[in-house]
Structure 1
Amino acid sequence: MKERLSSMLHLPKLFSDGAVFQREKPIKVWGTFEPFSKIKLSLEDSVAEVITDQDGNFKATLKAPKYGFNKQLIFKNESGETLKSINVSVGDVWILSGQSNMDFMLKYDQNYQQDADKVTSVLRDGPAISFFEVPRRILPNGEFDQSTNPEEWHILTKENAKLFSAIGYYFGLELRDYSPDIPIGLIWMSFGGTTASAWLSEEALAKDPLLKQRYLDSYQELLSSMSMDKYEAILAKQHETSLLPEAAKFWDDVVMGKIDHKTLNEAYKNKKYLFNDQIMGPKSENRPHGLFDNMVKTIIGYTIKGVLWYQGENDSDDSSLYDHLLIALIQDWRNHWEDDFPFLIMQLAPFGHWFGNVSGEFYPEVREKQAIVADKLNKVYLTNVMDDGMQYDIHPKNKKLAAHRFYLLAMDKVYDVINNGAAPSVDDCEKYHDHLTISFDNCDLLASSQKNLNKVLKIIVNGKVIQLYDVSVSGNLMTITSPEFKSNATIEVWYQQEPFSHAGLFNENAIPVVPFKVYL
C-alpha cells in the first residue's frame, strides 16, 4: 500500500510505529489535519470517520480489535488516499509513575549490577516489550528536559533496558511471561524527588480548600516575595555543578549503593557543591501542577490498563495531607481520562535517614494515608516491600521484588487469576478474657518471622508497653495472649510503626502485612 507523505497530518508521538493500544477498551486517537477536512481511520475491522475543527484538530474513537502484534492503523483523506500507516499492537498498556523509586533505572538495580547479561538475556525468551518514555519536562519549551530516550515507542533491548525503569522492566517481563500472546506496552512517566502536588491539575488542587491553601496559595505567596535574579543565579550555579564529571560519577555511585552512609555524610559536610538543594520557583519540578501541565497532559486520553504508583517520599513533611493529595490525584487523572482505571500503590519502603536532613520520620503516617486511600477509593489497591528497604538509603536496590509485588497485585485485583495478591490488612479484632485475635483480609494462611515480629510488634496496656505476652498465628488470625489483658484494660497493638523496620507478618504469597495500629 502506497503512503502519501503529508506535512498536514500531525500525530502525537504516542501514535507512532511500535505503539501498543489497550485491548478491550475504546482506542482514542487524536491529532491535527487540514481544517474542516474528513479523515477516515481504520484498525482492522474497526473504522471511524471524523471531521477536523476550524483549527484542524480531531479526536476519534476506534473499537479495539482482538489483541495481537503487527496491526496497521491507517489514516485516509476524503479521496481515499492514505495519509499515514502505523504499525501497532493491541494488548495491555500500563503507566509507570511516581518519583525516584519508579524513576530508578535498571542499571542501578542490584541484580543487574551482579549479572547484567543474565538479567537482560531473558528478553530473548519471548515476544518484545514496548515502552514509551514521557519526557521529564519541567517547562513547556523543554528546558531542563531530563529524558534518557527520544520521545517515541521503543522495544526493550539489552542495550536500552539499563536506562529504563527497573520496576517497569521486571513488571513487564512477568506480564509477558504470564501471557506471551498479549503485547505489553509500558508508558514510563516519573520524575525523581517530586511531590504529588506537581502531578495533578490546578483545578484539582483548587477544589480542595486544604490543598489550595498548602500548595497554590503558598506558592503564589512565595513568588510575590522572591528575588528572581537570585533565583536564576542559584539555578545557574546548580546547573554548572551538575555538569561536573565528578558529580555524575558521585551520584551514580550513590544510587548504586557504592558509597556507604558514613562516606556520604562526610561528603555532604565537606563537598557541599555536589549537593543541589531543591529550590521552589517557576522552574522547579515541584511547583504545583507543573508536571501535570508538561507531562501528564501529553498522554491524557491514551487508553490504558492501569497505573503503577510509587511516590510519597517527598510528601512526608506534609504527611497529614497526603490522603487528600493522593485521592485528589487519582480522581483528577480518572476524570481527565474518563476512565475508572485500576490504580496500584506501593507503600513507602522502610527507611531511616539519608545524608543531610532527608529523614523517614513521617513515613509511618504516609503509609497509613496510603492505606486509607486504598480503602476509600474503588479499584485502588495496595502492596508493599515492608520486608525490604534500607536504613540509610532511600532507594531499595532490589527492584525485582517491588515489581513482583506489583505483579501479584495486578494478577489478583486486575486480571483476577490469583487470590490474595494484595498486601494483607487488619479486617477485625476481638478480645476474649486473656487473649485477643486480629484477623486479616487478603490472607488465608498467615505466616510470621518470629525474629522480626518481636522487634516490630508493640503491645500497650493502659498506656504502658508490656513485655509479657505470647503470639501465635493460624489461618488468617494472629492471637496475642497476656495475663495483663484484664476485662477493663485499654489495649493498643502497634505493628511496624517505625520509619525503618522489617516485616514480621506475611500472607501465603509472602506479601507483608500492612503496618497497623489497633485499639481495644
Structure 2
Amino acid sequence: MHINWPFTSHMVLQRNQTIHFSGCSNNNYVKIQVDEDIYETNVVNKKWSVDLYFDEVGGPFSIRVMDEEETVVLDDLYVGDVFLAGGQSNMEFKVKEGLPSAFECKGNVRYLHVPRYVYEKEGKLYPEEERKNWQVLDDQSYLELSAVAYYFCQHLPSDIPIGIIDLNKGGTSASCWLSEDVLKSDPVLKKTYIDGYYEDVHTTLEEQYQATCNYNQKLNTYLSMFNNFKQQHPEMTVAQMKDQVGHTPWPPAKGHFDFRRPSGLYEYMLKSVFNYPISAVLWYQGEEDSLKPQHYEHLMEAMINCWRKVYGRELPFFILQLPEYDGMNIWHFGSIRIIQWQLSQNEDHVYLVPLLGCGEKDNVHPVDKSVAGYRLAESVKHEYYHKSGSVFPKLESYDYDGHTLTITFDQSLKDTTLQVNAKTLKGTIKVDLTARKKQLICTQDDLVSIAYGDEDYFTEYFVGINGIPISPFMITI
C-alpha cells in the first residue's frame, strides 16, 4: 500500500478546505482512521481517495490507513494554515546563504521542500532528487528553508500551526510556472513566451540533452570554485568575489531540458502539490521578467487566474515587490515594481508587500531577508488574519485641478520632498513631490502622468509613520 506524496508524517493540513487524501493499494478497499473517525473507500484501478475536512486548528494526531494486508501510519500531524512560498532565486535563497542568525521561531512550523525537477527521461525525473517528508522547523532544519519564508514564520500568530510549501527556482520567468494550454491559448503570450523561446532552437532532443549535461557540468565546477573562494574571503561582497572568480556561467542551453522553458516547472514541480490545499501564495519573482517588462502584467494576470482555476478558489496572492537594484539599463526593476503595484490595484485578493530599503545596489540577491519576511508577515496578518499589523501606506485617491496634484493615502507619511519623474504636455521632466500628513502634493501645470519609484536604484523614499516605505506607483491624469 502507498500514500501519495506530499501526504507524509509531520505535515500541516489546511483547515476549512476539502483535502483529497489519496494513495494506491492492491486490495479491494481501504480504511482511513483519523482519531475516532473511520472512513472506508473502494480501490479502483489500484487507486483510492477519500475527502477529509478539518474546521479547527489543532494536533498532534495520526492518520492510519489500512487495507487487508498492512497498516500505514502518518503521525505528528497538525491542522492549521499552509502557505506556498513560490517564485525565483530570492525566494529560493536559503537561511544558511544569508546573514548568520540563531534559530528563533516560537510557532509550530513545518515545511515541505518540493524537488526542483525539470524534465523526465526514460520514466525518471531529473535532476535526481529524493522527495522528502515534511520537516519540523527547528534549530537544525531551519538553515535549509527559504530565508524569506523563515523570517515570515517568525512573526505569524504562534497559536496556529503553519505549513510552508517551499516551491521555487532561481532564474525563472513567470511563464515557467504557467500551463502550456494557457500560454498557447493567448496569442500575445504564445508569441512572446513560447514562440519567442523556441524560435532559435533547431537541434534534436538528444543534442539538447547533451548541451544541458555540458552546461550543468560547467556550472557545478564554477559553483565549487566560487564556494571555496567564498570560504577563504568572507569579508568580500558577492560582486567583489565575482570580479575575482568570474560570473556564473549563463545562459543554460535552450530546449526541452532547460529549466527556463515555458511551462516546464508548472508541469514537473507545481503539479506535484496541486492536490494539497493551501491558504495563500507568497510570491517573490519578477527579476527574470524585468528583461522584457512590457508583457509582465498580462503574464501575471494569466498565471494568477490559472492557479486559481486549478485550486478552485479565489486564492490570495501576496506579491513581494522587487527592491532597489542597479539593473544597468538591462534589468528594469523599476518597471516591474510599477506593474506589481498595478496588479494589486486591479486584481481582487492580490496584496502587495513593498521591499524598498531591502535591496543592494550591486547584488540582485540581498543577503538580509529578515525585513522582507517581517513585512510579508505583517501584510498577511492584516489582510488574511484581519489583525492589526504594520503595513505600508496605501494610495486611496488623487485629485488634479490643472495646477496641483493631491494624492491621498490611508495613513500619515513622514514629511519629505523628493524629485520624481513626470510627463507634461511639453515633455518629460522632474518635479517636486512633497509629503504632508496623509498626502503627497505636486504643483505643476499641464501634468499628464507622474511616477514614483520607477527607477531601478534609488536611496530616498516616502515612508509612513510606521517606518515602512510606500509602494512605487504611477498615476495617469
Aligned to 1:445: 412
Letter in 1 for 2:98: D
Q: Any gaps of 5 or more consecutive residues in structure 2?
A: none
* Matching of residue 193 in structure 1 with residue 183 in structure 2: no
Aligned to 2:26: 34
Aligned to 1:454: 418
* Matching of residue 321 in structure 1 with residue 295 in structure 2: yes
Identity among equivalent positions (%) equals: 24
SS of 1:181 mapped into structure 2: coil
Q: Cα–Cα, structure 1 residues 477 and 41, in superposed 2: closer, same or farther, change >3 Å?
A: same
Q: Any gaps of 5 or more consecutive residues in structure 1?
A: 1-8
* Matching of residue 478 in structure 1 with residue 467 in structure 2: no
Aligned to 2:452: 495
Check conservation: 1:374, 1:380, Cα contact below 8 A: yes
Letter in 1 for 2:89: S
* Matching of residue 19 in structure 1 with residue 11 in structure 2: yes
Check conservation: 2:226, 2:245, Cα contact below 8 A: no
Aligned to 2:81: 92
Shift in Å, 1:228: 5.3
Distance (whole Å) between structure 2 residues aligned to residue 255 and residue 206 of structure 1: 48
Distance (whole Å) between structure 1 residues aligned to residue 370 and residue 230 of structure 2: 19
Shift in Å, 1:62: 1.0
Letter in 2 for 1:409: S
Check conservation: 2:32, 2:66, Cα contact below 8 A: yes
SS of 1:506 mapped into structure 2: coil
Q: Cα–Cα, structure 1 residues 518 and 18, in superposed 2: closer, same or farther, change >3 Å?
A: same
Q: TM-score, normalised by structure 2?
A: 0.89
Distance (whole Å) between structure 2 residues aligned to residue 199 and residue 469 of structure 1: 40
Distance (whole Å) between structure 2 residues aligned to residue 95 and residue 255 of structure 1: 35
Check conservation: 1:108, 1:256, Cα contact below 8 A: no
Check conservation: 1:427, 1:439, Cα contact below 8 A: yes
Task: For 1:104-123, list aligned pairs within 5 A.
Answer: 104-110=93-99, 112=100, 116=101, 119-120=102-103, 122-123=104-105
Distance (whole Å) between structure 1 residues aligned to residue 33 and residue 47 of structure 2: 18
* Matching of residue 133 in structure 1 with residue 125 in structure 2: no
Distance (whole Å) between structure 1 residues aligned to residue 133 and residue 94 of structure 2: 18
Distance (whole Å) between structure 2 residues aligned to residue 393 and residue 297 of structure 1: 32
Distance (whole Å) between structure 2 residues aligned to residue 241 and residue 465 of structure 1: 46
* Matching of residue 292 in structure 1 with residue 266 in structure 2: yes
Check conservation: 2:422, 2:431, Cα contact below 8 A: no
Check conservation: 1:48, 1:61, Cα contact below 8 A: no
Greater helix content = 1
Q: Cα–Cα, structure 1 residues 454 and 24, in superposed 2: closer, same or farther, change >3 Å?
A: same
Aligned to 2:306: 332
Shift in Å, 1:286: 0.8
Letter in 2 for 1:74: R
Q: Cα–Cα, structure 1 residues 19 and 438, in superposed 2: closer, same or farther, change >3 Å?
A: same
Shift in Å, 1:219: 4.2
Q: Cα–Cα, structure 1 residues 278 and 181, in superposed 2: closer, same or farther, change >3 Å?
A: same
In structure 2, which of residues 60, 63, 71 is the aligned counterpart of residue 70 of structure 1?
60
Q: Cα–Cα, structure 1 residues 255 and 66, in superposed 2: closer, same or farther, change >3 Å?
A: farther
Aligned to 1:397: 367
Distance (whole Å) between structure 1 residues aligned to residue 241 and residue 162 of structure 2: 41
Distance (whole Å) between structure 2 residues aligned to residue 254 and residue 465 of structure 1: 49
Q: Cα–Cα, structure 1 residues 419 and 239, in superposed 2: closer, same or farther, change >3 Å?
A: closer
Check conservation: 1:198, 1:290, Cα contact below 8 A: yes
Q: Cα–Cα, structure 1 residues 227 and 508, in superposed 2: closer, same or farther, change >3 Å?
A: same
Shift in Å, 1:34: 2.6
SS of 1:351 mapped into structure 2: coil
SS of 2:298 mapped into structure 1: helix
SS of 2:325 mapped into structure 1: coil
Distance (whole Å) between structure 2 residues aligned to residue 151 and residue 469 of structure 1: 55
Distance (whole Å) between structure 1 residues aligned to residue 436 and residue 112 of structure 2: 45
Check conservation: 1:429, 1:437, Cα contact below 8 A: yes
Distance (whole Å) between structure 1 residues aligned to residue 431 and residue 287 of structure 2: 36
Check conservation: 2:358, 2:372, Cα contact below 8 A: no
Distance (whole Å) between structure 2 residues aligned to residue 305 and residue 98 of structure 1: 17
1:33-54: CA deviations, max 9, x gaps? Answer: 236x222323235554332222
Q: Cα–Cα, structure 1 residues 519 and 297, in superposed 2: closer, same or farther, change >3 Å?
A: closer
Check conservation: 1:130, 1:155, Cα contact below 8 A: yes
* Matching of residue 44 in structure 1 with residue 40 in structure 2: no
Shift in Å, 1:427: 2.9
* Matching of residue 463 in structure 1 with residue 426 in structure 2: yes
1:469-520: CA deviations, max 9, x gaps? Answer: 572411x21223x4xx35xx33543211111123521334433222122244
Shift in Å, 1:350: 1.0
Higher mean C-alpha deviation, range 304-313 or range 372-381: 372-381
Q: Cα–Cα, structure 1 residues 28 and 166, in superposed 2: closer, same or farther, change >3 Å?
A: same
Letter in 2 for 1:497: D
Distance (whole Å) between structure 1 residues aligned to residue 412 and residue 452 of structure 2: 18
Check conservation: 2:424, 2:448, Cα contact below 8 A: yes
Q: Cα–Cα, structure 1 residues 420 and 249, in superposed 2: closer, same or farther, change >3 Å?
A: closer
* Matching of residue 416 in structure 1 with residue 408 in structure 2: no
Letter in 1 for 2:22: W
Q: Cα–Cα, structure 1 residues 231 and 253, in superposed 2: closer, same or farther, change >3 Å?
A: farther
Aligned to 2:464: 507
Aligned to 1:4: none
Check conservation: 1:28, 1:62, Cα contact below 8 A: yes
Letter in 2 for 1:17: S
Aligned to 1:203: 181
Aligned to 2:214: 237
Distance (whole Å) between structure 1 residues aligned to residue 423 and residue 193 of structure 2: 38
Query: What's the RMSD between the two structures over aligned residues?
Result: 2.9
* Matching of residue 59 in structure 1 with residue 33 in structure 2: no
Q: Cα–Cα, structure 1 residues 252 and 235, in superposed 2: closer, same or farther, change >3 Å?
A: farther
Distance (whole Å) between structure 1 residues aligned to residue 220 and residue 430 of structure 2: 55
1:302-331: CA deviations, max 9, x gaps? Answer: 011111000111111221111121111112
Distance (whole Å) between structure 1 residues aligned to residue 333 and residue 305 of structure 2: 23
Distance (whole Å) between structure 1 residues aligned to residue 233 and residue 333 of structure 2: 20
Distance (whole Å) between structure 1 residues aligned to residue 361 and residue 189 of structure 2: 31
Higher mean C-alpha deviation, range 60-69 or range 427-436: 427-436
Aligned to 1:278: 252
1:395-448: CA deviations, max 9, x gaps? Answer: 112201111111011011111112673x444332223575331112xx322225
Aligned to 1:216: 194
SS of 1:505 mapped into structure 2: coil
Distance (whole Å) between structure 2 residues aligned to residue 254 and residue 472 of structure 1: 47
Shift in Å, 1:202: 1.2
Check conservation: 2:118, 2:257, Cα contact below 8 A: yes
Check conservation: 2:334, 2:455, Cα contact below 8 A: yes
Check conservation: 1:134, 1:295, Cα contact below 8 A: yes
SS of 2:73 mapped into structure 1: strand
SS of 2:327 mapped into structure 1: coil
In structure 2, which of residues 162, 187, 203 is the aligned counterpart of residue 226 of structure 1?
203
Q: TM-score, normalised by structure 1?
A: 0.82
